[in-house]
Amino acid sequence: MCQYDQDITTIEVNGKEYSAIIIGDENADIPRHLLQGERMLGKIIDGREISSFSWKGVIKDDEKLYIYFEKCNITHIDAIKDLKREKALYIIDELSYGLERSDKEFLNLENGIFPLYRIYIFEDDKVLLLPPDMGDLIAISRLGEMRRRDVLALIKRDSPLGFRLIQEMGELLYLSVTGELPFEREEVRQSGFKEIPLSWFYSGLDKKTEGFIDLILDASEKNMRDISGNLKPNKALTWFLSRSSGLVWNLENRSEEESKIKLGESEKIDAFFSKAKKEAERKNFWRVKGTLIILIAAFVIAACGIAGYYLSVFLKPPTTVGMEPEEIIRTFYERQSNLDSTNIDDGIKAEIPQYSEVMNLYITRQTRMAYEQSNPHVIAEDWVNAGKPEIMESAFVYGVILDEIERVDEDTWRAKGTWYTPYAYEKEDDEYMPPEGYEAVFEYEVWEDFDMKWNKRGWYVVTDITIPKYEFKELELIPTFPQRPTQLM
């Protein structure tokens, strides 16, 4: 049985049996807006015929939460590596055909990838594409390793967005040969995205077909761009379809156990993983050592910063003297966006919720600038105004784009804006690691209240700052370019 088929079951609703996909336990929290409005339609690809697929709704019992639909026989696309292996090329060709003939709204591509959790094999060898709303429900309930495997593990560093659906088809063919996605293992991703050569598996696969898969997975960035051209990602699949039709697929079905890569059976494969693991460990070692350097420098810089802060407080009035409340708030956010840890609390007699965040990123920036002679901080507003271009590897986007300021009552002003941060504010996502070749930007809509009083010395003073509300907007993965080596003089 395919590892995902444990999530496919049959349930009874109002006395009638339905097929269902388990999407979580009974305590799973599903946003209501996903359950409202008209249901979207999925697609069933049968030969060159495409028909619609509808789902009924979401229901829970004492243990699980289910999406249910008319009773049918489905299995996850992962079955192409074992129980559906002999039909893998046909199934992937059908999948490509369905994707190529889908519009942008249906595809709803995440980072150029069509997630595996939206792909099922229907009845015999037909392909079922779940609609976007069903996909969203599954995605929300399956955060973690499964979601990373179904999306992020398919992304190869430096591959153009327009080529990624072609690349995904090649990765699925590789899965059906080897039993594992080429870049699924973290050590492979961390050591240069070089997969185990197909020829090492002695599968007996037709050499022309094997070469076609290798061509897709090992294409240079230039060749990827030449192949996909200026076409939309799904339309670029025409290239794949025109070539896959003439291939020979001569592999047989096997059990799930037979499909697993087992260490100890091949010296070449064992040596490959050993080398990849050592390379990944080497990179992780330098990451840890770099963190230690930052922590040591942080102590020194923070100590100097604190001393300078208290000296400035006693010797001169705040720079906000003469400013109206709205101007004080705008200046405050400019200093936050610029990581101006020395002046961010100027004219403020209150605890600042984001002070630790600004200080930590300031220390990181100053230390990196001292040791690497490069500034890793990308100011969010500048980045957005420039069209969200790629950034230097290990850089981070941080800052606030202020949308509006309104006066709530006599002494309180409320600022609403979009905050861009390199890490999540939610505990469950705070250890998220972006794929190699990308940096993460978490975007939040934040409401922040400023209480102000007119003091006896003749200017406004901020007496309290609170964040009554914030909402997650989206996670963006930004492509990166290599950091230029430091020139030693």
- How is the chain split into domains, by residue range? 5-261, 317-481
Q: Over the stretch 348-367, which tens digit does the pLDDT of each residue have?
A: 988 999 998 898 888 888 87
Given a cut of 50, is residue 445 above it in pLDDT? yes
| Percent of the residues in the chain that have a pLDDT greater than 70, as a whole number | 83
Q: Over the stretch 39-58, which tens digit does the pLDDT of each residue have?
A: 999 999 999 899 999 999 99
| Percent of the residues in the chain that have a pLDDT greater than 90, as a whole number | 51
pTM comes to: 0.59
Given a cut of 60, is residue 3 above it in pLDDT? no
Collapsing DSSP to helix, strand or coil, 425 comes out as coil
What is residue 174's DSSP assignment? H
Residue 314 banded pLDDT, cuts 50, 70, 90: very low
E strand map for 54-164: 57-60, 64-69, 74-76, 119-122, 126-129
Given a cut of 90, is residue 380 above it in pLDDT? yes
The residue among 149 and 279 whose pLDDT is bigger is: 149
Calculate mean pLDDT across residues 397-417. Answer: 94
Q: Which amino acid is at 152?
A: L
Calculate mean pLDDT across residues 195-199. Answer: 87
Sheet holding 460-481, edge to edge: 377-379, 396-407, 412-421, 438-454, 460-481, 391-392
Whole-number pLDDT of residue 279: 59
Q: How many whole angstroms separate alpha carbon 272 and alpha carbon 280?
A: 12
Collapsing DSSP to helix, strand or coil, 301 comes out as helix
Calculate mean pLDDT across residues 102-116. Answer: 89
Whole-number pLDDT of residue 379: 96
- Residues in CB range of 275: below 8 A, 6 or more apart: 191
CATH domain 317-481 topology: Nuclear Transport Factor 2; Chain: A, (3.10.450)
- Report phi then psi at 202, rounded to 5: 50, 45
Q: How many whole angstroms separate alpha carbon 417 and alpha carbon 412?
A: 16
**Lowest-pLDDT range, 329-333, 399-403, 423-427, 452-456?**
423-427
Calculate mean pLDDT across residues 79-83. Answer: 95
Collapsing DSSP to helix, strand or coil, 271 comes out as helix
- Residues in CB range of 346: below 8 A, 6 or more apart: 312, 318, 319, 320, 335
Roughly what angle, to the nearest 10 degrees, separates helices 164-178 and 221-228? 110
Collapsing DSSP to helix, strand or coil, 405 comes out as strand
The residue among 31 and 153 whose pLDDT is bigger is: 153
Given a cut of 90, is residue 383 above it in pLDDT? yes
Q: Over the stretch 249-296, which tens digit does the pLDDT of each residue have?
A: 999 999 988 888 765 566 776 677 676 666 555 555 444 445 554 555
Whole-number pLDDT of residue 398: 96
Residue 137 banded pLDDT, cuts 50, 70, 90: confident
User: Rg (Cα) of the chain, in Å, rounded?
Assistant: 27
Calculate mean pLDDT across residues 451-470. Answer: 91
User: What's the sign of the alpha-carbon dihedral 184, 113, 132, 390?
Assistant: positive
The residue among 436 and 418 whose pLDDT is bigger is: 418
Q: How many CB atoms lie within 10 A of CB 122?
A: 21
The residue among 432 and 12 whose pLDDT is bigger is: 12
Calculate mean pLDDT across residues 50-72. Answer: 93
Distance between alpha carbon 167 and the CA centroid of its chain, in Å? Answer: 18
Whole-number pLDDT of residue 281: 53
The residue among 309 and 400 whose pLDDT is bigger is: 400
Give yes or no for a contact between 193 and 183, defined as CB atoms under 8 angstroms apart: yes
Q: Which residues of 133-163 are buried (b: 16+ CB within 10 A; e: fewer)?
A: bbbbbbbbbbeeebbbbbbbbbbbbebbbbb
DSSP character string of 305-367: HHHHHHHHHHHS--TTTT--HHHHHHHHHHHHHTT-TTTTTTTB-S--TTHHHHHHHHHHHHH
Q: How many whole angstroms separate alpha carbon 364 and alpha carbon 294?
A: 6
Collapsing DSSP to helix, strand or coil, 448 comes out as strand
Q: Tell me the CB-side half-sphere exposure of residue 108, using CA atoms within 13 A.
A: 16
**Lowest-pLDDT range, 148-162, 183-197, 265-279, 282-296?**
282-296
Given a cut of 70, is residue 489 above it in pLDDT? no
Q: Which residues of 355-393 are buried (b: 16+ CB within 10 A; e: fewer)?
A: eebbbbbbbbbbbbeeeeeeebbbbbbebbeeeeeebbb
Whole-number pLDDT of residue 27: 73
| Mean residue pLDDT across the chain | 85
Structure tokens at 166: 């072609």
Structure tokens at 394: 């290990």
E strand map for 107-152: 119-122, 126-129
Q: How many whole angstroms separate alpha carbon 326 and alpha carbon 156?
A: 46
Q: How many whole angstroms separate alpha carbon 424 and alpha carbon 152?
A: 17
Distances (CA, A) of 373 to 289, 389, 402: 18, 22, 31
Whole-number pLDDT of residue 260: 84
Given a cut of 90, is residue 332 above it in pLDDT? yes
**Is the CATH number of domain 5-261 3.40.720?**
no
52: part of which helix (H) or strand (E)? strand 49-53
Calculate mean pLDDT across residues 134-144. Answer: 77
Q: Which amino acid is at 53?
A: F
Calculate mean pLDDT across residues 298-313. Answer: 53
Of 417, 391, 393, 411, the residue nearest 452 (C-alpha): 411
Whole-number pLDDT of residue 261: 74
- Report phi then psi at 180, rounded to 5: -150, 140
Given a cut of 80, is residue 307 above it in pLDDT? no
Calculate mean pLDDT across residues 370-378. Answer: 84
